[in-house]
Amino acid sequence: MTPSSRIQAVIELLDEIIATPRPADTLVSAYFRARRFIGSKDRAAINGLLFRAMREYHRLSWWINRAGAEVNGRSLAIAALIFAKELEAGEVRDSFSGGKYAPAQLTREERKLVEMIDGKELVSPDMPQRERTECPEWAYPLLRQSLNGDFDKEMDAMMHPAPLDLRVNAIKAERDEVLEELKNDGFDAHPGELSPLSIRLFGRPQIAQHPLFKEGMFEIQDEGSQLVALVADAKPGEQVVDFCAGAGGKTLALGAAMNNKGRIVAMDVLGGRLLRAKERFRRAGLHNIETRELSSERDKFVKRHLGHFDLVLVDAPCSGTGTWRRDPDKRWRQLGPGISALVPLQKDILESACRMVKPGGRLVYATCSLLPEENEMQVENFLNAHKDFAVKPAKEIVDVPGAGDFLKVTPAQHGTDGFFAAVLVRKEGTA
């Protein structure tokens, strides 16, 4: 592909992402599947510019609006190219030539944009804090309050791409042996600092093609997500429910912790995700997991299993504010329910799931959110309504800096996605 045709591809992808209420990574994968002629180097170049534009969306849009241009795939690509110092003003005009496979020639508004930003830095002294920190309008007051003096630091940490973390499958391998083999194969691999099962890779390698991955020796999982599974503390022989299992990442970690002994029921209202998770379970060599599609959080299965389980993990649907470095489009696109709908949904899920916990058992509530409304406040309201549950301090289970009553990890403090987890124990004699 020519440099101009790469830019055109980025424009097409940005326009599709802006217009389509589906995750960006899904749309990008579909785009490349339909164009298998695009080679690996071209894909890397396209993805580089595309994800830069998505990570810098609010800052780029601020400049575009000042120039009086429309915020779309073309203007975002133009601004991203100039601020990245990939092209100078004249080179942008040449690239937008209108030739075969190249973007159409610049409009008057786009020429004005190029002239305005040429030689400028992306962050202007005049730029408001919300745009400068890439914070969506709806979340700005909430995060400013919850993060307080750490707001700028945490938001800055989420502007950078997330690292690639692996979780070693403890029933098949030891971390040291996997680490050694990856290093011998030329990977820049290092032991994780927080999870005893974690390996961090640098350089964004295509690790899913590695034989160890295909043999189920490890899974791709953020180290923060691994900590949620560790604080759940699943034990061999226990009866366990993963109430919002999704694609099964935490289910896999629970199953390995249980050494394939006992029973896990992986549940979700999205049956398609559970179906895809089954292949991951097979690859990992786990046979103590069954899947169940739920009609809703009040599915009849819950009523039939009151007080039955040692552990119920509720990895609740949430705003995902802790994952913005991994999913930068979520900073400027709302793909699911808003916070006003999520908080009551989380409450309903907790109210239903807690009924399955037996006396002495654990209810673990987790989110990938940084908002107290979805985390501490949700737990406080639950405990006020359920005197038969009490907090078991996370610091008694995992050795993580800053862990107290709850597990809280953030991009700036821990180098992970943002996660929250609370372990709530049902008191004995309260069936």
> Which residues belong to the active site?
368
Quick one: which H or E segment has residue 225? helix 223-232
Residue with token string 């180098």: 415
Long-range contacts of 156-159 (CB under 8 A, 24+ apart): 156/412, 157/325, 157/410, 157/411, 157/412, 158/134, 158/324, 158/325, 158/411, 159/55, 159/56, 159/134, 159/325
The whole-angstrom separation of Cα 38 and Cα 190 is 32
The whole-angstrom separation of Cα 14 and Cα 22 is 12
The answer to whether 350 touches 301, Cβ cutoff 8 Å, is no
Quote the crossing angle between the two packed helices 24-33 and 40-55, to the nearest 10°.
Answer: 160
Instruction: Mention every residue, 6+ apart, whose C-beta is less than 8 A from residue 247.
Output: 273, 276, 277, 280
The whole-angstrom separation of Cα 322 and Cα 158 is 8
Quick one: which H or E segment has residue 311? strand 309-315
